[in-house]
Amino acid sequence: MTLSRVIAFFIAALGAIFGSLLHADELPAIKNENGWAQLIIHGKPFLILGGELGNSSAGTAAQADSILPKLAGMHFNTVLMPVAWQQIEPEEGHFDFSLLDHWMAVARQQHLHLVLLWFGSWKNAFSNYAPEWVRSNTRRFPRSLSAEGLPLEILSMLGEETLRCDARAFSSLMRHARETDADQQTVLMVQVENEMGYLGRGGRDRSPVANQLFRANVPAELRHGLEARRLQMSPELAAHFHSAGRTWQEMFGEAANEVFMAWHYARFVNQVAQAGKKEYALPMYVNAQLPSPFEQAGEYPSGGPHPYYLEVYRIGAPSIDFYSPDIYWPNFEYWVQRYQMAGNPIFIPEARLDSSPYNALYAYGEAKGFGFSPFGVDSLGSSEASPGPQPGMADVYNTLNQFSTILLEAQARNHTRALVLHASSPRPSQTVSLGGYLFQASLARSWPARTLLTNDGAMLVIEGKSNEFYVVGSGLTVDFFRDPDTDDRLAGITRIEQISVKDGHWETDRELTGDQTNQGRQLLMSAHELHVYRVTLYCYKKPAVQ
């Protein structure tokens, strides 16, 4: 090493030490700037390469020992794990965090972060994660009633003792997290409750208290909040909001039951989050079960934080930092877009595992998400890394891990785009524009026979230097054009390399030429294996037409 290199090394090391000391006591936080949100940990943006555990996979210490090393080996950097109310407070007022402590210890050894999912009063609308002393005392902890007046396995969101005890348990959890983890910050964020909402015909709690409140006037706070936010309202809410009305029915018409439930769930969850933040102010979010077409409120959880009436939550629950969709329906992009609203960062806590490798590229690249997390990742075998028809999650996270600094910087400058294509997509090709060029992708075909090689493909494009792009993906063939909105020049390919990181540096594994670029005219990705391609383009003046 030359002297100048030694000096540079020490300066960098000192910078890293002072940098981490400087930010040691800053809590993880969501920073919203220029329309993009990032999760900041120890002063630096962090990309969550996450996975959520199955519901029965975080109930023993042995499960931590077997699952967490496996996920760390598959390049996950964050695990979303349930913490059940019944597990931490089996007897009223007696808390037991020993299981969580073990999970945190193993996560630290594996250099993993955790997001805690508070399965408190509700999990998928129902209340079966509440302790037995809560569920068995229906006088103290009232249930929601069905349209027939029968008690449901759903705690009423109007139960005062339910709120007090849920908030007390949650704040004990947050206090414990602060006392045991604030210096290490293994735990990054917390989801408050899980897929809240009322399941039952009519979509509204019919208990006497609920009926009485439903007949009364809409609270002024909600009315004024909505009047001030007319421009932000979803089309569904705007279509039903009649500000001159006084009662729920007058003001919201056919949507009255659902908006009523949304308001009261929002007020409840806000107070739980507020109590928790008093102890330890980590970012807190709530997740939604999404409606499917033609479903009525009550067939999906009525009053949950889904996009139709989300503005009601944003007024009623200021302690919630953001709202997240659990996306199991096929139209992944549509549901992500419904949550791309000002001030709501994109974090997908649950998604179908089988389509997640490609959807992850969309979430990070097109929606500038700071995190993505397929559901049930503990079911992945370690051999998942060797792909079936799509690359595996391990391949995607391995690649994005190498890329995270570049990706985070590019997200913040709006220099990323992404798309996913399926054989069933309504269009055979899709185009994104970046850095003055159009990237037109279609599903990969063989060369020269042109037969379809794959049913799905995806790419995440990052603009590096001028005219230089990183394309992460597989299953696509990409054509390049000059974007006519930039100038009237024509585009050409200078060079396409397949690259990977070795010893911290990008290296060219293969220069793609000849047949592998359709004679210099296209990027032909591998049909099934995920790769990073560095594409260098040029543009030139259009010849004058005689």
Size of residue set near ligand DGJ by CB under 6 A: 7
**For the chain, how many helices (H) and strands (E)?**
15, 24
Q: Which helix (H) or strand (E) holds 152?
A: strand 151-155
**CB of 194: closest distance to ligand DGJ in angstroms?**
5
Contact mark string toward ligand DGJ, 442..471, x via CB under 6 A: ------------------------------
In the block, which residue shows the tokens 């600094």? 405
Of 27, 36, 55, 245, the one binding ligand DGJ (CB under 6 A) is 55
Is the Cβ of residue 157 or residue 523 nearer to ligand DGJ in the bound state? Answer: 157
| 50, 372 Cβ separation under 8 angstroms | yes
* Window 346-385: contact mask with ligand DGJ (x via CB under 6 A): ----x------------------------x----------
The residue within the footprint of ligand DGJ, chosen from 32, 86, 87, 124 (CB under 6 A), is: 124
Distance CA 130, CA 120 (A): 6
Which of 193, 205, 321, 326 binds ligand DGJ (CB under 6 A)? It is: 326
Please, which residue, 375 or 403, has the CB nearer to ligand DGJ? 375
Question: From the CB of 350, what's the least distance to ligand DGJ, in Å?
Answer: 6
425: tokens are: 């997509």
Q: How far is the CB of 484 from ligand DGJ (least distance, A)?
A: 44
**Taking CB positions, which residue lies at the least distance from ligand DGJ?**
195
Of the pair 55, 536, the CB lying nearest ligand DGJ is at 55
Contact between residue 114 and residue 186 where contact means Cβ atoms under 8 Å apart: yes
- Shortest reach from residue 52's CB to ligand DGJ, in Å: 7
Residue 144 Cβ, how far from ligand DGJ at the closest point, in Å?
19
Please state the closest distance from residue 375 (CB atom) to ligand DGJ, in A: 5
Q: Toward ligand DGJ, which CB reaches closer, 350 or 395?
A: 350
Say how far apart CA 273 and CA 61 lie, in whole Å. 27
Closest approach, Cβ 373 to ligand DGJ, in A, equals: 11
Q: In angstroms, what is the minimal distance from the CB of 354 to ligand DGJ?
A: 13
The site string for ligand DGJ over 6-45 (x = CB under 6 A, - otherwise) reads ----------------------------------------
CB of 291 to ligand DGJ, least distance (A): 14
8-state DSSP, 147: T
Q: Binding to ligand DGJ by residue 194, rule CB under 6 A?
A: yes
Contact 535, 469 (CB under 8 A): yes
Mark residue 451 as left, alpha or beta (left: phi above 0; alpha: psi -120 to 50; beta: remaining).
beta
Gap between the Cα atoms of 303 and 257, Å rounded: 8
User: Which of 193, 195, 311, 321 contacts ligand DGJ by CB under 6 A?
Assistant: 195
Q: Work out the number of other CB atoms within 10 angstroms of the CB of residue 221.
A: 12
- Our CB check for ligand DGJ shows the closer of 248 and 375 to be 375
- Whole-angstrom Cα distance, residue 135 to residue 94? 17
Give whichever of 303 and 475 is closer to ligand DGJ, judged by the CB atom.
303
Q: Two tokens at 139?
A: 């006088």
Which pairs from 146-153 meet CB under 8 Å and 24+ separation? 146/200, 146/201, 146/206, 147/200, 147/201, 147/202, 147/206, 149/206, 152/199, 152/200, 153/126, 153/127, 153/128
Q: Dihedrals φ, ψ of 377, to 5°?
A: -70, -20
Summarize as ranges the residues that interact with ligand DGJ (CB under 6 A): 55, 124, 194-195, 326, 350, 375
